[in-house]
Amino acid sequence: MNTLKKLLLFALVIFVGGCDMISDEDGSDPSDPENQPENQIPTSLHFAFKTEDWERKVDCTHLDLDATKSTLLKATSQSTGSTFYFVVPSSSTEMAKAENFGKYPIGTEEYFSMAQVLPVSQGSDSRIRSKAGFDEENSFTEIVSITHAGTATDYEIYRVKGHYQMQMEGVEDEGLTRTCQGTFHFKIKTTKD
């Protein structure tokens, strides 16, 4: 009986010690968010941003983004002072197209482009805004998922997931620069076709 207890204790020590040593092929920790694949975006409705100075994830559960009234969607977070702009098609047929997956420029000129304005740091009066443009690595919005989420009498509801990276400049001082990256998952109303 004593031998069985020692054997179980030894197996437990090996198992617990082994859990601490889990790593990817390159030696990185797969549980670190920095090492997860880019398309692993939280399922909760949200808008998240991260700059060199601060980061936040804003709950968008109660956000009503209505593309039936305008294709330029805008929302401001009272808790962070950040505002994002997101351009989407108003038509449910256009929203549901498979070719919508992919990368888009930063700005407000075409569907699925995004821009934002936010304080340099929490509580700061100085603000930064996204620079318009496209660069495959440093300045893009990428749509990774568009799913139909419901139907009402006058509209269709879609959930749109993506991530972005953008270069930012000061609103008052264009010499002030930052990099901003983040994820989003929105619920959007579109017209019924």
Residue 75 sits in the same domain as residue 95: yes
- Could you tell me what percent of the chain has a pLDDT over 90? 78
Residue 9 sits in the same domain as residue 97: no
**For residue 111, what are the β-bridge partners?**
none
Residue 51 sits in the same domain as residue 129: yes
pLDDT tens for each residue of 31-45: 333 444 445 799 999
Query: How far is the C-alpha of 149 from the C-alpha of 45, rounded, in Å?
Result: 12
Residue 87 sits in the same domain as residue 168: yes
Tell me the pTM: 0.79
Query: How far is the C-alpha of 24 from the C-alpha of 7, rounded, in Å?
Result: 29
Residue 123 sits in the same domain as residue 173: yes
Residue 78 sits in the same domain as residue 120: yes
Residue 117 scores a pLDDT above 70? yes
**Alpha-carbon distances, residue 19 vs 16, 80, 122 (angstroms):** 5, 38, 37
* Dihedrals phi, psi of 54, to nearest 5 degrees: -170, 170
Assess contact for 113 and 99: CB atoms under 8 A.
no
Residue 5 sits in the same domain as residue 71: no
Domain encompassing residue 29: 1-36
Q: Burial of 46 by CB count in 10 Å (0-12 exposed, 13-18 middle, 19+ buried)?
A: buried
- DSSP SS3 for 140: strand
Banded model confidence at residue 125, pLDDT cuts 50, 70, 90: very high
Residue 95 sits in the same domain as residue 76: yes
* pLDDT computed for residue 25 by the predictor: 47
Banded model confidence at residue 138, pLDDT cuts 50, 70, 90: very high
Residue 93 sits in the same domain as residue 107: yes
* pLDDT computed for residue 10 by the predictor: 43
**Alpha-carbon distances, residue 192 vs 67, 101, 143 (angstroms):** 11, 21, 22
47-65 residues labelled b (16+ CB within 10 A) or e (exposed): bbbbbeeeebbbebeebeb
Residue 52 sits in the same domain as residue 130: yes
Residue 69 sits in the same domain as residue 128: yes
166-184 residues labelled b (16+ CB within 10 A) or e (exposed): bbbeeeeeeeeebebebbb
Average pLDDT over the chain, rounded to an integer: 85
* pLDDT computed for residue 2 by the predictor: 55
> Once rounded to an integer, what is the mean pLDDT over residues 73-96?
96
* pLDDT computed for residue 185 by the predictor: 97
How many folded domains does the chain comprise? Answer: 2
Residue 134 sits in the same domain as residue 181: yes
> Once rounded to an integer, what is the mean pLDDT over residues 172-177?
94
